[in-house]
Amino acid sequence: MTWQPLDCHAHTTLSDGALTPEELVARAAELGVRPSISDHVTRDVTPAVQSIAAMRAYLDDIEHLPVARSAEFCWHDALWREVPDELALRFTHRIGSLHAVFLPGGGTVHAFRREVPKGMTHDQYMDIHVQNLLRFTLEMPVDILAHPTVLPLTFRAIPLEELWSESRENRAVEALRRAKIAFEISNRYRPHERFLRKMVDAGVRISLGSDGHSLEQVADVAWPLAAARSLGVKDEELYDPHVHGSKTGHFGGKPARPV
C-alpha cells in the first residue's frame, strides 16, 4: 500500500468543530490523508465532551468509523485524571495540551485569553510555562503534546525564538524525550525551526496535526509533513499509534496542584 500521512489531531461537531465525524472522514479521503478524530475532552471548552458518561458516548459514536480514535485533554482541567482504565483503553492515542498553566500560589494563565497577572513579563511567564510543561510530561499519560508553542495572546507578537530561549527549549526537549511524548508539528500553530530541529536531533517522536476545526483546516498536514521531511524525518518514523503504540490505561492521579 502507498504510505499516507496521518492527521493525529482534528475536531468535529462532537466538540467545537464544523464537520460531522463522517464529513471529516470524507474530507481526509479527498486529501489522501488518514484521519483521526480528537475532540476536546475537558470542562474548559464549550462545546466539548465534559464528563465520563459523555466520553463513553463519544467513543461509541466514532468507533465504527475508519479513524484513529483520540481526544485532546487539557492539562489544567482534572477531568483527564478521572478517566477509568477501561475507557482509556478504547482510544488509539491521546493528546494533551497546555491550554492554561498553573501559577505559583494559585490561579492560571490561559493561552487563549489576554489576561495575565499585572506586571508579569514574558520571561516570567515562560519560566512558569516550562515548569508546567515539565510536570505535564511527568504526570499526564498522553502520546502527543498538541501545538507545543501556543502561548497566551498577550505574548504572541514576540518572536517564538525569543520566548523559547535555547535553555527553555533544551529542558522541553529532554522532558519529552524521557516521557516518550511526541512533539506535534501543528499546521495552525507552527513551531519555529530551531525548536523542531532540536526535537528531531534528540530522537523525540514527531506527529502531524492539522488541529482542524473547519473544512479548510481538517486533514491539511502538507506544511507539517514538509517541515518534518526537511529535517530528515522519514515518513515511517512519524508518530502512528498503530505502529508506535499508545500509553494505554492508567489515567488516574492526584489532583493537579500549583507549581
Domain covering 21-244: architecture: Alpha-Beta Barrel (3.20)
Please, what are the averages of pLDDT over each run of 10 residues along the chain (259 residues)? 93 98 98 98 93 98 98 97 95 98 96 94 98 98 97 97 98 98 98 98 98 98 98 98 84 43
| 89 touches 81 (CB < 8 A) | no
Q: What is the pLDDT of residue 254?
A: 40
The amino acid occupying position 13 is: T
Count of CB atoms within 10 A of residue 135's CB? Answer: 17
The amino acid occupying position 109 is: V
Q: What is the pLDDT of residue 247?
A: 82
Q: What is the pLDDT of residue 110?
A: 97
Q: How far apart are CA 57 and CA 51, in angstroms?
A: 10
Domains of the chain by residue range: 21-244
Phi, psi of 177, rounded to the nearest 5 degrees: -60, -45
Q: What is the pLDDT of residue 45?
A: 86
Q: How many residues does the chain have?
A: 259
Cis check: omega of the bond before 47, within 30 degrees of 0: yes
